Amino acid sequence: AASWKVLNRVGIGMPKKIGTHNGTFHCDEALACYLLHQTDEFRDAEVVRSRDPAVLKTCDIVVDVGGVYDADKLLFDHHQIGFTETFDPEHKTKLSSAGLVYKHFGKSIINKILESDTAGDMLHIKVYDSFIEAIDGIDNGIPQYATDVKQSYSSNTNLSARVSYLNPDWMDENPQPDAQFQLAMALTGSEFRRSVTFYGKSWLFARGFVDRAIQDRYNVDPSGEIIILERFCPWKEHLYNLERELKVEVPIKYVLYADQGGSWRVQCIGVEGEDFQNRKSLPWKGLRDDELSNVSGIPGGIFIHISGFIGGNKTKQGALEMARKALGTESDPKKQKVDQ
């Protein structure tokens, strides 16, 4: 967090003030104000919405207005000419007021939400990548991808769009923009907290399960291309990262895990960065039940998705045999049965 603290400009002991602009509000300053309310310093601060420089000078911190970014002076605008700040050198998306506040206060806010003091760079970056960066990009008008192809449909349900709908309608006879802004803060804040909680308590914890599965892969099959998760968890991103960190030379092709009904799934690992391309698809596409068992020669078949990216078997051993046969190692004499 910023080290320089502004003395309260309206008197010692008075509530602090967070300044932002009035008029139409957006997702970035709504979230920026919510984030500041999660800090000890600005927990009880009043949110003042104005573009009047004299009013903004009475505020202890100013976001999304004022034309200045100076973290030491607690000024966090991004609209000025020459502003190019990004989250770190690895990121290319220019920050909005949300990204600026998160960059300087994010780790301490995450620790507070998780009731921990161990939020490191991995979690700080992950929450930025998965939640904050899209808000930065949309507010700064940065396309998510190349725009030389006409879109097939429009999407107006992202968080930034939903915040925009909270602005008073032009037909409102008695608009209450400040009250609506409080609703925007609550909306962005609830989704931010949900993201932090998921990535801090679920996603990060899953890394250990994936790590153990990769380390044990040669005990599953001599090819080293099949892993078994102790329990289902968010595994995809961890697998790609761990393959790089562990210098896995032969890419893993299939992951096995139990589903909620007690049967087993065998899922193809996709090509990183490609939504619909598998490293090695399953055969028997579209087959189900007895037909699948008869054609594959493996009892207990349940289904293979029509695209071949996932299949099911009634038993762990059956799912493993499906993966082995798909891989071409089913006749390897070294293969061992797995515990049921």
* Residue 240 confidence (pLDDT): 97
Dihedral (Cα; 139, 144, 146, 151), 10-degree rounding: -100
- Compute how many other C-beta atoms are within 10 angstroms of the C-beta atom of residue 91: 16
* Residue 275 confidence (pLDDT): 79
Closest by alpha carbon to 20, among 89, 54, 58, 66? 66
Closest by alpha carbon to 252, among 215, 225, 219, 270? 225
Contact (Cβ atoms closer than 8 angstroms) between residue 60 and residue 25: no
* Residue 329 confidence (pLDDT): 57
Contact (Cβ atoms closer than 8 angstroms) between residue 36 and residue 101: yes
Which DSSP category does 336 fall into? Answer: -
Closest by alpha carbon to 161, among 130, 190, 131, 138? 138
Contact (Cβ atoms closer than 8 angstroms) between residue 214 and residue 244: no
* Residue 10 confidence (pLDDT): 41
- Compute how many other C-beta atoms are within 10 angstroms of the C-beta atom of residue 48: 18
* Residue 13 confidence (pLDDT): 66
- The CB-side HSE value for 8 (13 A sphere, CA atoms) comes to 12
* Cα angle 62, 65, 69; round to 5: 70
d(CA 132, CA 50): 24
d(CA 188, CA 77): 19
Per run of 10 residues, the mean pLDDT along the chain (length 340 residues) is 42 82 98 98 97 98 98 98 97 98 97 87 96 98 85 91 97 96 98 97 95 98 97 96 97 97 96 90 97 98 97 98 87 44
d(CA 2, CA 70): 9
Angle formed by the axes of helices 97-114 and 27-37, nearest 10°: 40
* Residue 6 confidence (pLDDT): 45
Beta bridge partners of 312: 265, 303
pLDDT digits over 57-75, tens only? 999 999 999 999 999 999 9
* Residue 193 confidence (pLDDT): 98
Place of tokens 């589903």: 259
